Each structure stands twice: as structure tokens, then as C-alpha cells.
Amino acid sequence: MMKEKRELVSVPGKWDISFNYAAGKTVSHFLAQIRDNGRILGMKCAKCHRVMVPPRSFCERCFVPAEDWVELGDEGVVEAFTIVHDVFEGSPPPPYAIAYVKLDGADTALANFVDGLDLSDISEATQRLKIGARVKVEFASRREGRITDFKYRIIG
């Protein structure tokens, strides 16, 4: 019998599905306040008194509804950070830095990009972007009600 050449086939696929995610009234108000007034709001749990940001309409720990809005400061402290030097599909072109910042008046940290750092020099960047560093919120002049309407900038 003749030896048959076995071909191995793979078939390409691509998911192209549109979604429309409802934000709910709490997150909608939070995003609208960022867009319209350049204000960041937190949600306070009436039971444990934690001020949560991102805000939710309930406290997942106490498991009760939450409805007390609190205006947060436009400065805060870095709680955690990542500086990304590798290319990932679906992520921005590197390098970029993201920090979790506990804004003044909040009990939880909110993530966003950190601007104004020279990320090409890693040791220089990590000297400035470190846990405990103070940052200021800088809003974009044109805002669309998305988390990317602001970035953090290190002030000390």
C-alpha cells in the first residue's frame, strides 16, 4: 500500500458578537459625574461604613443595599501598581502603568492609568511609582463617561 501523506487541518474562527452592558443606576451616576462635573464619588455602606469605589448599589460584605454617595478627593495614595513592558493582544501598546489608588475619603482603591512617567527606564519608574506615593487625578478635557476619562499623575 502506498504511504499516504497525512495532512493536519486547522480551521480559523473569530467571535464577533456585540454586547450592550447595562451599568445600573449607581454606576451610571458615577460615570455621569465624572463626565459632567469631573467629580469622583464613592458609595458608603450604612452598616460597615466602608466607602467603596467603584461604587455599587450594595455592600457585598454586609450584604445590604447602599445608597449614601460621598464625594472623594482628587488626590490619593498608590496601593498597588503594575508597569507593563510586554505586548498583550487586547491591551495598549507597552509600556504603560496602572495603579490602584485609594483616593482621599475612600476605603477601597480604584485602578487607572498613570501618566507622566518615563517608563523606558524601569528603575527610574519604580523609584517614583511605588506603594505609598501620592497621586493626583487629572481629567481629560473631553470626557465621555468612561473610566478612561481620567488618569493619575504622581505628585510625591
Partner 1 sequence: MDRRVAIVGIGQTRYETGKTESLDEIAFEAASKALADAGITRDEVDNVVIAASDQLDGRPISSMTLACPAGGYLKDEVKASDDGTLAVVLACLRLLSGVFHTSLVVSWCKCSEVPTAKVTNLSFDPFFHRDLGLNHINALSFQVNSYLSRYPISEWVPAKIVVKNRANAMGNPYAHLVEEVSLEEVVQSPIVCPPLRQLHLPLECDGACALVLTTRERVRLTTQKPVWISGLGWAMDSYYLGERDLHQLSSVAKAARQAYQRAGIKKPIDEIDVAEINELSAYHEIMAYEALDFCTPGEGYKLVEEGSTELTGKIPVNPSGGALAASPLFAAGLVRIAEAALQVRGDAGERQVTGVRTALAASCYGICAQGSSVFILSQES
Q: Exposed, middle or buried: residue 97 (CB in 10 Å: 0-12, 13-18, 19+)? A: buried
- Least distance (Å) between residue 52 CB and partner 1: 8
Binding mask 95-124 for partner 1 (x = CB under 8 A): -x-x-x-x-----xxxxxx--------x--
Judged by CB under 8 A, does residue 64 bind partner 1?
no
124 backbone dihedrals φ, ψ, rounded to 5°: -65, -45
Decide if 39 contacts 33 (C-beta within 8 A).
Answer: yes
CA terminus-to-terminus distance, the chain: 78
Chain contacts with partner 1 (rule: CB under 8 A): 8, 10, 13, 15, 19, 21, 23, 27, 31, 52-54, 60, 79-86, 88-92, 96, 98, 100, 102, 108-113, 122, 126, 130-132, 146-148
